[in-house]
Amino acid sequence: MQNLKRCRDLAGFFLRAHSAQQLRNSTPLASGCSGLLSLRWTSHQGQDYYGSRGPRFRYIVTGLVAGTGVVLAYGLHQSKGEQAATSVTRAPSLPVYTQEEVTKHSSIDNGVWVTYKGSVYDITEFVAIHPGGDKILLAAGGALEPFWALYAVHGQDHVLDILSEYKVGILQPEDCKKQEMANPADPYSTDPPRHPALVVNSSKPFNGETPPSLLTDSYITPSALFFKRNHLPVPQVDPAKYKLQLEGLPEGTVSLTLDDLKSRFPKHTVTATLQCAGNRRSDMNKIKQVKGLNWGVGAIGNATWSGARLRDVLSFYGFGPEVAAKARHVQFEGLDQDTTGTPYAASIPLSKAVSEEGDVLLAYEMNGEDLPADHGYPVRVVVPGIVGARNVKWLGKIVVSEEESKSHWQQNDYKGFSPGTDWDTVDFKSAPAIQELPVQSAITWPEEGSTVDHSMKEVTLKGYAWSGGGREVVRVDVSLDGGKTWHVAELQNSETGQKPGPPPPPGRAWAWKLWEITIPLPEGAQELELVCKAVDSSYNSQPDTVSPIWNLRGVLSTAWHRVKVKVE
């Protein structure tokens, strides 16, 4: 913990400065404090991290969880680490260390040791290639358990395999017991119950999406079925004690209660679609493995959000030309924190935050009711037209600033890269943080692999389409033959059977459109490749294929959606 201030960029420093060759033993993980038997060990050379670009094998990582920097890519470890493995022999015994000795190894300079279930690991070399970044240093000199409890993915076999390579000793039984006593309870034990229909991509933190067949059943997605994308445990917030901090305005730090927010500012309602940057990531995984939750087409939903306008709140507390002359961003911090107290955080451009047409809300209602726990109770930011990741939930702090949020999610995640960029070459500073999302669409019906009844002579397709930045979807093209010929679908901007809603003002089309089309079945077709692609009011269209937009984080997966069905 004492290294918190030094954490940033230490990994980069380490890679430059660390040239000593090290020989190190490793054993598989002991199982609890009694697991003293080592089965194999491997010697590593800690140099030439950049020499290995052609991985000979990679772990297949599915259902991955992005967390406090703990985006997993243990393939990366293999890619870089495999050259170091030069011999495998047996280690009959390992030294026993005290917690005090372990604690001394809590910096890059002194070596980075951690403990896990009674074993001691020297992970100094691993710091630089930890897929979750230098956050791993937070555990330096101590136990991994409190950190791993936040991200269930660490419990997977391949992660334990990797850790085993760094084993250097055994924690003495007394300290081992002390640790067990101190270990926190499951931080997810107070998470709310979820609707059983959600397709769960990870349970800790909870990430679940709406099944495609339910997604377009209603124009307004029911809150219980709306996709949930949590980065951390759901915080327990007492509405009576809730305080929202506001910083960076002339009046200094201001603190608002929930009642202040509701009573001092007009209640404003916006219908807006939220989409995760990783929606449809599974299409990218089919091309080449990416890091992140394996979302299908359901990490998107449309709801009505009510609350105070952010611009009203900022104005009320002194935002004006003086602040505007300097500030460029509005940062948001959630009340959801990791074990070090680091909250989820993100920021948006000031221009969006204060624009009359921006419609940014400090929302306390979703679909006419209090925000559900999973959606940020009691207050979240809703930033229409902007990627879900900036719509910070359980809002604890707002900072008007010259700078973007320094959070991992703003700086080193949720950015797009060229398909030619890999984890060896990526420079997160080279790409802007995702804000507005590109035009998107998907087929929700029929589902992949289903069968169309030939005797019906026609097939009905349904789906959704949406674009970021308030750009209205103006057309959806649908094909039954993989994109050779195209038909124009009917668009819907209200519940089925209700009269169409009024067209949104230019640049403020925050809500999706559902679409539907019935097309005669082609003569003699035995299989159909259904395709949809949308066009927005700036006439942006979706790319044809996935490969050319593939990126190592699997975000912005907006190629034509293709669904294969049989005709019988």
Q: Which residues are catalytic?
A: 130, 154, 229, 276, 414
Site for a copy of itself contains 443 (CB under 8 A): no
Instruction: Pick one of 197, 368, 538, 564: the residue that binds a copy of itself (CB under 8 A).
Output: 538
Stretch that binds a copy of itself, among 30-38, 52-60, 333-341, 536-544 (CB under 8 A): 536-544
The separation between CA 82 and the C-alpha centre of its own chain, rounded to angstroms, equals 28
Q: In terms of CB distance, is 159 or 556 closer to a copy of itself?
A: 556
Residue with tokens 């949020």: 405
The span from the CA of 303 to the CA of 561, in Å, is 23
The span from the CA of 561 to the CA of 138, in Å, is 41
Q: Smallest gap, in angstroms, from Cβ of residue 351 to a copy of itself?
A: 5
Site for a copy of itself contains 62 (CB under 8 A): no
Q: Smallest gap, in angstroms, from Cβ of residue 328 to a copy of itself?
A: 8
Which amino acid, 60? Answer: I
Q: What is the DSSP string of 423-475?
A: TTT--GGGSPBP-BPPPEEEEEESPTT-EE-GGG-EEEEEEEEE-STTPPEEE
The span from the CA of 114 to the CA of 301, in Å, is 41
Site for a copy of itself contains 437 (CB under 8 A): yes
Site for a copy of itself contains 488 (CB under 8 A): yes
Cβ neighbourhood burial of 426 (10 Å; 0-12, 13-18, 19+): middle
Tell me the sheet residues that pair with 120. Answer: 115, 169
Instruction: Pick one of 487, 494, 521, 567: the residue that binds a copy of itself (CB under 8 A).
Output: 487
Site for a copy of itself contains 518 (CB under 8 A): no
Residue with tokens 């451009």: 349
Count of positions on this chain that bind a copy of itself (CB under 8 A): 47
Stretch that binds a copy of itself, among 192-200, 224-232, 402-410, 503-511 (CB under 8 A): 503-511
Q: In terms of CB distance, is 209 or 477 closer to a copy of itself?
A: 477
Site for a copy of itself contains 93 (CB under 8 A): no
Kind of pairing, strands 96-97 and 167-171? parallel
Site for a copy of itself contains 506 (CB under 8 A): yes
Q: What is the largest CA-CA distance in the chain?
A: 77
Stretch that binds a copy of itself, among 179-187, 292-300, 402-410, 464-472 (CB under 8 A): 464-472
Site for a copy of itself contains 173 (CB under 8 A): no
Instruction: Pick one of 197, 548, 564, 568: the residue that binds a copy of itself (CB under 8 A).
Output: 548
Site for a copy of itself contains 483 (CB under 8 A): yes
Spatial contact of 524 and 480, defined as CB atoms under 8 Å apart: no
User: What x-and-dash track marks residues 380-419 binding a copy of itself by CB under 8 A?
Assistant: ------------------------------------x-xx
Site for a copy of itself contains 436 (CB under 8 A): yes
Give residues with Cβ within 8 angstroms of 69, minimum separation 6. 132, 133, 134, 135, 408, 412, 413
Site for a copy of itself contains 349 (CB under 8 A): yes
Left, alpha or beta for 260 (phi > 0: left; psi -120 to 50: alpha)? alpha
Burial code (b: 16+ CB inside 10 Å, e: under 16) for 72-96 equals bbbbbbbbbbeebeeeeeeeeebee
Handedness of CA 124, 125, 128, 132 (dihedral sign): negative
Q: In terms of CB distance, is 184 or 548 closer to a copy of itself?
A: 548
Handedness of CA 35, 36, 42, 45 (dihedral sign): positive
The separation between CA 493 and the C-alpha centre of its own chain, rounded to angstroms, equals 28
Spatial contact of 229 and 388, defined as CB atoms under 8 Å apart: yes
Q: In terms of CB distance, is 45 or 421 closer to a copy of itself?
A: 421
Spatial contact of 389 and 346, defined as CB atoms under 8 Å apart: yes
Q: In terms of CB distance, is 161 or 422 closer to a copy of itself?
A: 422
The span from the CA of 125 to the CA of 24, in Å, is 10
Instruction: Pick one of 250, 505, 520, 522: the residue that binds a copy of itself (CB under 8 A).
Output: 505
User: What x-and-dash track marks residues 182-201 binding a copy of itself by CB under 8 A?
Assistant: --------------------
The span from the CA of 268 to the CA of 359, in Å, is 9
Site for a copy of itself contains 486 (CB under 8 A): yes
Site for a copy of itself contains 272 (CB under 8 A): no
Instruction: Pick one of 162, 303, 395, 434: the residue that binds a copy of itself (CB under 8 A).
Output: 434
Q: Smallest gap, in angstroms, from Cβ of residue 547 to a copy of itself?
A: 8
Spatial contact of 389 and 435, defined as CB atoms under 8 Å apart: no
Instruction: Pick one of 351, 460, 498, 518: the residue that binds a copy of itself (CB under 8 A).
Output: 351
Q: Smallest gap, in angstroms, from Cβ of residue 559 to a copy of itself?
A: 9
Stretch that binds a copy of itself, among 19-27, 102-110, 242-250, 537-545 (CB under 8 A): 537-545
Instruction: Pick one of 432, 449, 497, 524: the residue that binds a copy of itself (CB under 8 A).
Output: 432
Task: State the residues that interact with a copy of itself by CB under 8 A.
Answer: 349, 351-352, 357, 416, 418-421, 431-432, 434-439, 468-469, 471, 474-475, 477, 483, 485-488, 505-507, 533, 535, 537-545, 547-549, 556, 558
